[in-house]
Structure 1
Amino acid sequence: MSGGATDPHPGERRPLGRRRLGLALLTVVALAGGGVAVTALATPEKPSPDPAGGEGLPPATAPVTRGDLTDSSQQDGTLGHLGERKINAGGPGGTLTWLAAPGSVVRRDERLYEVDGEAVRLMYGDEPMYRTLRTGDKGKDVRQLEENLAALGYTGFDVDEEYTAKTAAAVARWQKSHDLKQTGTLGPDRIAFAGSAVRVESGADSGTGSGGGDRIATGDRVTPGSPVLTVTGSEKVVSFKVPASQAGTAKTGTRVQVTLPDGTRLPGRVSAVGRTATAGEDPQDRTPKIDITVSFDDPARAKGVDRSPVTVELSGTTRRDVLSVPVNALLALPDGGFGVQVVEDGAARDVRVELGLFAQGRVEISGEGLRAGMKVGVPS
């Protein structure tokens, strides 16, 4: 055979030792950084000898192909919503008379809850509504309020951090539209801030009952600062975990394909990567893992029940216009390295190859005389 090794048994043609190939391939994959599962190859049947006296032919062949090769990995994920948080009661407190329904989405200027029949509405912003704003006040919360008023069409003031008489006039117009007393002042008894539209998860945990866990409901008394609603972000996302050692496979911006429970495949990207590794909940696997969040390109198409299992396919490296063969076509050459058994004109010969990317059960190869369409030996 090729490779320059001396045959210890002259006159007897021996097939290359595929028994050594499984271990060798696993070594190559490990050195390449993992991410590809290679099944150990069984020893094929001894090829029938060529009638012309040439190399023994393999039991089966596969073509060398040319095209793009992309490695990818699959992860088990969960469909859900991002950023669970609490909405706390403002104002003097009282009896809870209405709550937004679980699963509903509340947007800017829509009702979150009512106390004593008076609605508290959602506005967008990261600063909490911690005081009653009036003419002369200054701060980031003033700017947030003015940004919301302007977005709702109540204009006539400069959007800045100063609450002026013009701001008060816009507030009065907003109050009139909601049949409220037109005071020109506004406080936490009327609005609550959140970063964007929210989805209502449930009434907040009241902390009562045996061991806690009861949910607040209409008719309950609330006090300033007590939790009223548990909410999340309004758009659906997917969350999953990867071992800390593989965090580089899921960088922010990495493109993914998500397979939903009904088989629908939707594109998306990694939108957030956790900064702290934590041990998993499985007592059999305490490997430190990092939380990964995926956002859909078109969230409205992401249909499914919350906490449904999904599959996330992470796109990796792509090698374009390369030659490749099935992984099990590789031979471990006697003098080291790898080759393939090319079958042409009823004869087989070994060709040394350089290995590239492993992906999709195939491996990128290069070597002298190789071309697309050639047949290479594979186990039966």
Structure 2
Amino acid sequence: MRARAKWLLGSLAVVLAASGGGYAVTAQPQQEGAGKSGQHGAGLPPATAPVQRGDLGSGLRVEGTLGYAHERKVGAAGPGVLTWVAGEGTAVERDGRLYEVNGRAVRLMYGSTPVYRPLKAGDKGEDVKQLKRNLQALGHGTGLDPEDGTFTAGTATAVKRWQKAHKMPQTGEVAKEDIAFAPGPQRVRRNDSAVGDEPGPGKPVMTLTGTERIVRFQMDAAKAGAAKTGEQVSVRLPGGATVTGKIDSVGGAAGPDEKGDGGGPGGGDKKAKVEVVVALDKPAEVGAPDQSPVSVGLTGETRKGVLSVPVNALLALAGGGFGVQVVEDGRAREVKVEPGMFGNGRVEVTGDALKEGMQVGIPRL
């Protein structure tokens, strides 16, 4: 047998770079004599594993956090003292109270345009349409045209009905301090102010989210290509249960990695991160608490019906390239291979002399 090839375990840097879908393999020099053993005659390896044919996935598992969708902060629309606030974890639906200032309730209405002015007769705009839709949904706006963005006399009448239902002065106008628009039902994630505080500019009253459960995790920006919008994923919950979901968005800024290389403040490169959000297929079935740690399995690329061997079966051949050590009839021989995709501790290999079921050498761990 020609000069012994070197086992790649410990000397092969396998870089699973997700950028562009490529995978690079770099062989690094070993010390002379490495990989030899006086306990295995005729060059036999200490252990073997079979060449397998099947599907190979390049998926990876990342750590994430269970949360709720669309986090946003809500501030008071006017001066005063906070006299009541919905508790953390409370779900608030249309017309429900979020908080009170000077005893005056701020109620949730559905809409994407925020409240930026009082609404009164003659006003026009998307916020007027949103108000009309909410008044109709609450049973106060019979006959209103929700596609007409004009605050009409009929709108004022509907507002008075709504005000009467809450024992408010029936002015027919909606003050900025009366409502807050949000896209749908909201959940109070955190109270940023307490009863007795005086909310003001730049001082939010509370942090809200949607009520739909999601998962967030971060990835290095350079590897974010491994996560694709719409891709199916699995999520392992606390306790071991697994649920499914789809990647809803990729690329929200998550800030740099502050860990560096462990050399103290400012050590190492700060890697840019992106946030990935997973929408769960059946969010109502997830009962784990907010901010629970979860594990997300990314599918990645899948190769169908390929030959693969354990990653540590690869050899750096003395003449260049890579191979495996095939063991047959008590003898070992080197077979040159071309490594392909890596996944789940295995590597795709192609070679004319390689067949399914062959035993290849691996170092004993």
TM-score by length of 2: 0.80
Give the match for residue 106 of structure 1: 92
Greater mean alpha carbon deviation, residues 231-240 or residues 30-39: 30-39
How far 1:66 sits from its partner (Å)? 1.4
How far 1:180 sits from its partner (Å)? 3.8
CA contact (8 A) 2:14 2:26 kept: no
Q: Does 1:174 align with 2:176?
A: no
SS in structure 2 of the partner of residue 26 of structure 1: strand
Q: Does 1:129 align with 2:115?
A: yes
How far 1:151 sits from its partner (Å)? 3.6
Q: Pick the aligned partner of 1:246 from 214, 223, 227.
A: 223
The structure with more radius of gyration: 1
Give the match for residue 262 of structure 1: 239
SS in structure 1 of the partner of residue 88 of structure 2: coil
- The separation in 2 between residues aligned to 1:343 and 1:34, in whole angstroms, is 28
Give the match for residue 41 of structure 2: 48
Q: Render the CA deviation track for 1:204-250: whole Å, top value 9, x for unaligned.
A: 3xxxxxxxxxx331x44557996432323333433333223223223
CA contact (8 A) 2:13 2:25 kept: no
Q: Render the CA deviation track for 1:101-149: whole Å, top value 9, x for unaligned.
A: 1121212211111234432210122322233323322111111212323
Stretches of structure 2 lacking an aligned partner (at least 5 in a row):
260-264
Give the match for residue 11 of structure 1: none
CA contact (8 A) 1:22 1:39 kept: no
Q: Pick the aligned partner of 2:106 from 113, 117, 120.
A: 120
SS in structure 1 of the partner of residue 129 of structure 2: helix
- The separation in 1 between residues aligned to 2:202 and 2:29, in whole angstroms, is 62
- The separation in 2 between residues aligned to 1:27 and 1:88, in whole angstroms, is 50
CA contact (8 A) 2:233 2:247 kept: yes
Give the match for residue 210 of structure 1: none
Stretches of structure 1 lacking an aligned partner (at least 5 in a row):
2-6, 8-13, 50-55, 205-214
Give the match for residue 10 of structure 1: none
Q: Render the CA deviation track for 1:239-295: whole Å, top value 9, x for unaligned.
A: 333223223223433443333333333323333334557433334454232231322
CA contact (8 A) 1:239 1:294 kept: yes
Q: Structure 1 residues 29 and 227, CA, compared in 2 at 3 Å: closer, same or farther? A: closer
CA contact (8 A) 1:239 1:291 kept: no
CA contact (8 A) 2:9 2:363 kept: no
Q: Structure 1 residues 44 and 74, CA, compared in 2 at 3 Å: closer, same or farther? A: farther
Q: Pick the aligned partner of 1:372 from 339, 356, 360.
A: 356
Counterparts of 1:180-199 in structure 2 under 5 Å? Answer: 180-199=168-187
Q: Structure 1 residues 76 and 27, CA, compared in 2 at 3 Å: closer, same or farther? A: closer
Residue type matched to 1:113 in 2?
A: Y
Give the match for residue 273 of structure 1: 250
Give the match for residue 318 of structure 1: 302
CA contact (8 A) 2:322 2:338 kept: yes
Residue type matched to 2:5 in 1?
A: G
CA contact (8 A) 1:36 1:359 kept: no
Q: Structure 1 residues 280 and 366, CA, compared in 2 at 3 Å: closer, same or farther? A: closer
Residue type matched to 1:322 in 2?
A: V
CA contact (8 A) 2:14 2:25 kept: no
Count how many residue pairs are aligned between Structure 1 and Structure 2: 349
Q: Does 1:216 align with 2:216?
A: no
SS in structure 1 of the partner of residue 120 of structure 2: coil
CA contact (8 A) 1:277 1:288 kept: no
- The separation in 2 between residues aligned to 1:132 and 1:30, in whole angstroms, is 54
SS in structure 1 of the partner of residue 226 of structure 2: helix
CA contact (8 A) 1:90 1:225 kept: no
How far 1:362 sits from its partner (Å)? 0.7
SS in structure 2 of the partner of residue 316 of structure 1: coil
Give the match for residue 231 of structure 1: 208
CA contact (8 A) 2:113 2:181 kept: yes
Q: Structure 1 residues 35 and 316, CA, compared in 2 at 3 Å: closer, same or farther? A: farther
Give the match for residue 292 of structure 1: 275
Q: Structure 1 residues 18 and 342, CA, compared in 2 at 3 Å: closer, same or farther? A: same
How far 1:22 sits from its partner (Å)? 4.9
Residue type matched to 1:216 in 2?
A: A
Considering only aligned residues, what root-mean-square deviation do their CA atoms show, in Å?
3.5
- The separation in 2 between residues aligned to 1:152 and 1:39, in whole angstroms, is 70
Residue type matched to 1:106 in 2?
A: V
Counterparts of 1:79-158 in structure 2 under 5 Å? Answer: 79-90=66-77, 93-153=79-139, 154-158=141-145
CA contact (8 A) 1:120 1:190 kept: yes
SS in structure 2 of the partner of residue 130 of structure 1: coil
- The separation in 2 between residues aligned to 1:288 and 1:134, in whole angstroms, is 51
CA contact (8 A) 1:332 1:338 kept: yes
Percent identity of the aligned residues? 51
How far 1:326 sits from its partner (Å)? 1.0
Residue type matched to 1:229 in 2?
A: M
SS in structure 2 of the partner of residue 349 of structure 1: strand
CA contact (8 A) 1:243 1:287 kept: no
Q: Render the CA deviation track for 1:191-216: whole Å, top value 9, x for unaligned.
A: 11123322223333xxxxxxxxxx33
CA contact (8 A) 1:324 1:362 kept: yes
- The separation in 2 between residues aligned to 1:236 and 1:264, in whole angstroms, is 16
Q: Does 1:340 align with 2:327?
A: no
Residue type matched to 1:311 in 2?
A: S
SS in structure 2 of the partner of residue 123 of structure 1: strand
- The separation in 1 between residues aligned to 2:151 and 2:202, in whole angstroms, is 25
SS in structure 1 of the partner of residue 301 of structure 2: strand
